[in-house]
Amino acid sequence: VLAIFGLVIAAVLKQYPQSITPVLLQIPLAILIGVVAHRAGRNIALPSVAALVVMYLTVIFGDIPLVHGFNQVLAAQPIAAWVVGLLVYAYIASVIPVWVLLQPRDYINALQLLSGLAVLLAGVAVASLIGGAPSGDEVRPPVELVAPVVDWQPEGAPPLIPVLFITIACGACSGFHCLVGSGTTSKQIERETDARPVGYGSMLTEGFLATLVIAACAAGIGLGISRSEHHSYNRISISPTEVEGARYIILGDRNLRFSETEAKNDSVPEAERRRYAMSTTEAWEEDAQVQANSLPITLRLNDGTISWQSLERASNDPELARTDYVVQGRLAFQSQYLSWSAAGGLASTVGAFVNGSANFIAALGIPLSWATALMAVMVASFAATTMDTACRLQRYVIQELAWTFLPRHERASCRRCAYDLSAHIGDDEREAQREVTCPECGAAHPAHEVYHHDRDASYASASWFNPFKWLSTIHGATLFAVVTAFALAMLPQTWDVFGAAGPWAWLQSTWTNGGRGALILWPLFGATNQLLAGFAFLVIGAWL
């Protein structure tokens, strides 16, 4: 979890550099909220409103010229560098008291989520009623379901069963949620009766968020996404003689290799034209002439999915190598999900939600750049809170396992006041199960109940050469969790250490392309998550 969420955060921040400064500023803001609420003991209402306002201001002004260069420099760093920095953050957040950073950051991120969901829901309602945000003088594009309702055989995809049940990371049956609930949530609620509204309410909120995610990925991206031509598409040029000084391109799937002659002669197979939203050359030229004055040109034919870009005729135009354009409708969905492997990439999965949600929010009149930054910050922030919480949970698990390998020392003490009863109980009383009365507080306990494991004595008696003694400490367990996560993240794609390039070049390549090693084991997370949930149900059922 640590390694994969480090990769997720790094991918989001690199893909959306405007979110870097807002995400970083949340750390000192959370510390300030924690100090005000915990140390000063003041009312949390006013600091909460102030924190929410500051967060949205950082989103709006997080990419102004003053910090734009800073964002670009950090976005240019390799994934491995980001993973290292994020693991250092997770280490610090896990060893300091929970009220300093983890708790206040989770709190302000919860405020951001609830307010963001409210804005997103309003955007969905407005876009559904009157359409998405218009581009220039154009009319509002209508909202439509651009994703297929059911695609039983996507190209390159494994069978739906059992892949569905071993890839869902969260949901109605999630072992990781059980770890979070028992490891951190249970220690922060004020009373036991708060467990139901907190736990069940969180699941309802997550389900509501999941519904909006589906809406963003299935309909929101149809309102328009920006793409780069050389990244996803193969260009087919057409030069209408009626339009002076311009030429037009049809954007087809990059795997299609139709030549200009084939396109002009209308020899593209009809099935492929339908699949990739192509039409006849005559229709291309006719609609291109009508909309020649607007850039980029988005044609709205019967299927409403063809996108055009007007370019200068000069063959040495640098834009010919990389053309940024906007696609809408079904072509937008196809550009985001070109294949099963492409859809599984972080850029596609995260980008679909961020871009689709931003399109809905932009329907409210909010600038698209602000909406995109807001959604990117929300994704990165919640991935960061999951990362530091997972690090703290892993520390708990490592410490508990390490204690089982240390020498055991029993101690007899009162359960109420912890008074040492060793001098007041003997073997006869213990074997006879007689009650022992504490001389300090007067509490009576059966003799066998006053004995418990003395961790302090176990730790003191263990040798310093015993590695479990180090792992039983806070810093030792956290360091072990962080180091193993880094080792997993840096697993190289090739082990050709002494190949033609040599060890040094191999190390450089591993650092440049590293940080993605967690993807090797990530497919197992869904299965282990469901297995852990099953064990949790067994334990709870046996306890009840």
Q: Of 403, 474, 518, which Cα lies nearest the Cα of 98? A: 474
How many whole angstroms separate alpha carbon 116 and alpha carbon 227?
25
Residue 138 tokens, joined: 């154009």
What mean pLDDT is reported for the chain?
Answer: 73
Query: What's this model's pTM, rounded to 2 decimal places?
Result: 0.74
Q: Are 192 and 120 contained in the same domain? A: yes
What does residue 132 show for φ and ψ, rounded to 5 degrees? Answer: -75, -175
What are the pLDDT digits (tens) for 266-305?
A: 443 433 333 333 333 333 333 333 333 333 333 333 333 3
509, part of any domain: no
How many domains does the chain contain in total?
3
Q: Which residues contact 457 (CB under 8 A, 6 or more apart)?
A: 409, 411
Give residue 427's domain range.
410-453
Greater confidence (302 vs 51) lies with 51
Judge whether 136 lies within some domain: yes
Question: Bigger pLDDT: 523 or 251?
Answer: 523
| Cα torsion angle, 424, 430, 432, 438, sign | positive
Q: Are 436 and 444 in contact (CB under 8 A)?
A: yes
Q: Clarify whether residues 386 and 414 are in a common domain.
A: no
d(CA 259, CA 234): 10
pLDDT reading at 427 higher than 60 = no
pLDDT surpasses 80 at 538: yes
In this structure, the answer to whether residues 96 and 137 fall within a common structural domain is yes
- 482 domain residue, yes or no: no
Q: Same domain for 215 and 251?
A: no
Query: Within a domain: residue 507?
Result: no
SS3 percent helix, strand, coil of the chain, rounded to 5, is: 60, 10, 30
pLDDT at 87: 93
CB 383 within 8 A of CB 5: yes
Evaluate if residue 65 carries a pLDDT over 70: yes
In this structure, the dihedral spanned by the alpha carbons of residues 115, 170, 190 and 444, taken in order and rounded to 10 degrees, is 180
What confidence tier does 521 reach under pLDDT thresholds 50, 70, 90? confident
Beta-carbon contacts of residue 211 (< 8 Å; ≥ 6 apart):
none
**Same domain, yes or no, for 36 and 78?**
yes
The pair of three-digit structure tokens given for residue 334, joined into one six-digit string: 């196809």
Are residues 259 and 376 located together in one domain of the fold?
Answer: no
Comparing 62-71, 282-291, 335-344, the range with the smallest average pLDDT is 282-291
Q: How would you label 442-477 residue by residue, b for 16+ Cβ within 10 Å and e otherwise?
A: eeebebeebbeebeeebeeebeeeeebbbbbbeebb
As a dihedral over the C-alpha atoms of residue 276, residue 281, residue 285, residue 288, rounded to 10 degrees, the angle is: 0
For residue range 438-480, what is the model confidence (pLDDT) as tens digits? Answer: 766 766 666 555 555 566 667 777 778 888 888 988 999 999 9
Please tell me whether residues 65 and 193 are part of one structural domain: yes
User: For residues 406 and 463, what is the distance between their CA atoms, to the nearest angstrom?
Assistant: 9
Report which of residues 283 and 28 the model is more confident about. Answer: 28
Boundary-marking domain end, from 397, 418, 437 = 397
Does one domain contain both 24 and 112?
Answer: yes
Indicate the length of the chain as a whole number.
Answer: 544
Mark whether 15 and 147 lie in a shared domain: yes
Residues 90 and 193 in one domain: yes
Angstrom distances, CA of residue 494 to CA of 4, 490, 509: 19, 11, 10
108, 239: one domain: no
Average pLDDT estimate for 34-51? 81
Which pLDDT score is estimated for 250?
43
| pLDDT greater at residue 123 or residue 4 | 123
For residue 378, pLDDT beyond 60: yes
Give the three-state DSSP class for 225. Answer: strand
Same domain, 20 and 144: yes
Answer yes or no: is 500 within a domain. Answer: no
> Is residue 467 in a domain?
no
pLDDT at residue 450, as a whole number: 57
Q: What DSSP letter does each residue of 458-489 carry, written as one string? A: HHHHS-TT-HHHHHTSHHHHHHHHHHHHHHHH
For residue 158, is it within any domain?
no
- Residue 336 covered by a domain: no
Give percent of the chain above pLDDT 90. Answer: 20
**What's the pLDDT score for residue 452?**
58
Query: Tokens standing for 89?
Result: 């953050």
pLDDT given at position 415: 60
pLDDT above 70 covers a percentage of the chain that reads 65
